[in-house]
A and B are shown apart, each in its own frame.
Chain A
Amino acid sequence: MTPVLQVQNLCKHFEMHHLGQRLMAFEGISFDLHAGEFLLLRGPNGVGKSTLLRTLYRSYLPRAGHILYHTTEGRVDLARAADVDIALLRRREIGFVTQFLIARPRVAAEDIVAEPLRRAGVAAADALKEARRWLDEFGVKRDLWRAYPTTFSGGEQQKVNLARALILPQRLLLLDEPTASLDVGARAALVRRLGDLKAQGVAMIGVFHHPGDVADLIDREIELTTSEVCEDVAV
C-alpha cells in the first residue's frame, strides 16, 4: 500500500543573518507514514521535534530533502510545492494542532469552531450544530459558546482550539503537544477523538510531553537525537 507520507533525507537549518550564524535543526530525517498510523516523535527538549512538525506543515522552509505527500490528485513534494498548493492542502487535508488558540476579536467560540466546516462548504446551520456538539464534547460550558474566547482562560481557549482543529477530518494530522495543560475530561475527549480519526484512516504525527496520554494510539516512534541522526524504533 502506498504511504500517505514519505519523508526522505529532510534537513532544516536556520540562517540568522544578524549573527552571521547558521543553526542546525536536524538533517537526514527519513520515514514513511501510512493511513491510520500514529507516529510519535521522541527526544529531549530542543532537539527539533516541533521544528520537524512545522517543517512538514511548511511554516518552516526545509533546506533539503523531500516530503512526498500522496493526494488523490497525485504526488506532491511538500518541501517544494507552490505556496498556493500548500494553502489548498491545509484547507482540505493537512491539519496542525497546537495548544494555542489564535482568537480573533469579536468572533464567538462557536463561529471559530465552525469556520473550517464553513470553508469546506458546509451550510451555516449544519456547521454551527456540529461546532456546538464538539464544544460540548470537549467540555466547554454551554453559556460560553456564544462568547468571545479572547476573554477565556488558557484551558478553555485550548478546548475551543482543539474543537476547531479536529472538527473536519483530515488525511494527515500534525499534533504539537495538544494535551499540555488540559484537564482530565478534555484530555479523555481528545484521545477519544484521535482514536476515532485514526480508525477512519487519518495519519498522525505527534509530539507529546506525556506520551502516556496517547499510549494506546501509538504505532511507531522516532527518536530525534542531538547528533542530528534519527533512529526509527518499532514499538
Chain B
Amino acid sequence: MVPERTVGMTQTLSLLPPQLMTTPPLLTMTGVSRRYGDVVALHDVSALVYPGEVLGIVGESGSGKSTLLRMMNLEDTPDTGDYRLALPDLAGNLFGLDRFARRMLCATRIGIVYQNPHQGLLMQHTSSGNVAERLLIAGERSFASLRARGRTALEASEFPLDRMDARPIELSGGMQQRVQLAKAIALEPALLLLDEPTTGLDVSVQALVLDTLKRLQRDGAITMVIVSHDLGVIRTMADRVMVMRRGRVVEQGLSDQIFQDPQHEYTQQLVHAKL
C-alpha cells in the first residue's frame, strides 16, 4: 500500500523526488525550528525553491510565515536548521555566517519588500537616495552610475521618474512599495522576498503592484518567495504554495491544486472561507 502523504491529510499518493527537473533548487531550507520563550514560531520547516519559481506561503497571523521569510533574509537565526543558496562562492549553512557576511549577502544577493515601507525605507531621504544606498553598500561609488542604476531600478518598478527625488513620506502607499521594490531589485538579486507586499493598499493599486511583480518575473526570471494571508494574491503570483499553521507546514502543492483540491482540513477551511 502506498504510504500517506502526511498525518491528518486525505490519503493520497506520496510524491516522488523530481525526475525531469535537473536544475538544483536555488534555496534549500531544512529542519528549521525556532522558539521564542514558550512560543513555537517554527517547527521543523523545510522548503525548496527552484530558479525562476515563485513560492507562495499562506497562513493566518501567527502561523510563522513572516518569521520564515525573515529567516530567509537572515534577520534571525533559528535554534536548529540549515539554509543554503546555490550561488557561486557561497557554501555551507548560511545561518553560520557572521554579521558582516550576512549583511553583504543580503545587500547584494537577496532583495526584500516589507508590508510596512517604514521597515524597508529611510522615509526622509529621497526615493532615488534609498535605491542608491543599496548600490553604495555593494561598492558603487560613481555618482553618475549611481544615478543611472537607481533610475533603471525605479523604472523597472514602474515608479514615475519625475518623482524620483521625492521623499517616501510624501508618497502614496503604492508608490512607497515601488520604491521598496526598486531598492530590492537594484542589484539584480538572485532571490526576491515579499512580505505582504500589497496588504493595506487599495484594491486597484494592489492590482498594479502585482502586475509589476508579474512583469519582473516574466522578463527577468527572478526567483521569488511571497508571503501573504490574501489567497487572491498568492493565487495570482505563485507557482507553488506552502500552507503554514502554528509554525508548521501543513500542506504544499501546485498553486491550482492547493486551491482546487486542498487536502488538509485546515487548507480546505482556508480556501472555502475566501469570498
Contact = CB atoms under 8 A, between A and B. Distances in A.
A87 interface: yes
B16 A81 contact: yes
A182 interface: no
A146 interface: no
Contacts of A84: 18, 21, 50, 53, 240
B211 to A, nearest CB: 5
Interface string B254-273: 10110011010100110010
Contact of B12 (A16, A61, A74, A86): A61
Contacts of B261: 14, 54, 59-61
A141 interface: no
Contacts of B19: 74, 76, 81-82, 85
B20 A89 contact: yes
B20 A85 contact: yes
B239 interface: yes
Given A58-B257, A87-B239, A80 B21 contact: no
Contact of B13 (A14, A80, A106): A80
Given A83-B253, A118-B218, A60 B16 contact: no
B252 to A, nearest CB: 8
Given A14-B261, A15-B10, A79-B13, A85 B18 contact: yes
Contact of A60 (B240, B260, B265): B260
Interface centre among B13, B252, B253, B272 (most CB of A within 10 A): B13
A205 to B, nearest CB: 18
A95 interface: no
A62 B18 CA distance: 18
A199 interface: no
A62 B12 contact: yes
Contacts of B240: 83-84, 87
A231 B26 CA distance: 46
A18 B269 contact: yes
B254 A83 contact: yes
A77 B254 CA distance: 16
A129 interface: no
B17 interface: yes
Interface string B14-36: 11111111000000000000000
B208 interface: yes
Nearest to B259: A59
Residue of B13, B19, B254, B269 contacting most chain A CB atoms (<10 Å): B19
Contacts of A85: 18-21
Nearest to B206: A105
Interface in B51-80: 53
Nearest to B265: A17
B13 to A, nearest CB: 5
Contact of B14 (A15, A80, A89, A105): A80
Nearest to A71: B20
B202 to A, nearest CB: 13
Given A80-B14, A87-B240, A61 B263 contact: yes
B268 A18 contact: yes
Nearest to A66: B13
Contacts of A80: 13-16
B11 interface: yes
B243 to A, nearest CB: 13
A88 B254 CA distance: 11
Interface in A79-114: 79-89, 104-107
Interface in B107-136: none
A64 B21 contact: no
B214 interface: yes
A17 B2 CA distance: 21
A88 B253 contact: no
B223 to A, nearest CB: 13
Give the interface centre of B11, B12, B207, B263 by most chain A CB atoms within 10 Å: B12
Contacts of A71: 20
Given A61-B12, A76-B20, A16 B211 contact: no
Contacts of A64: 2, 13
Interface of B: 2, 10-21, 50, 53, 207-208, 211, 214, 218, 236, 239-240, 252-254, 256-257, 260-261, 263, 265, 268-269, 272
Which 10 pairs of residues, A with B, have the shortest CB-CB distance? A17-B265, A15-B10, A82-B18, A60-B261, A84-B21, A85-B20, A105-B207, A59-B256, A61-B12, A80-B13
Interface of A: 14-18, 54, 58-64, 71, 73-74, 76-77, 79-89, 104-107, 115, 118-119
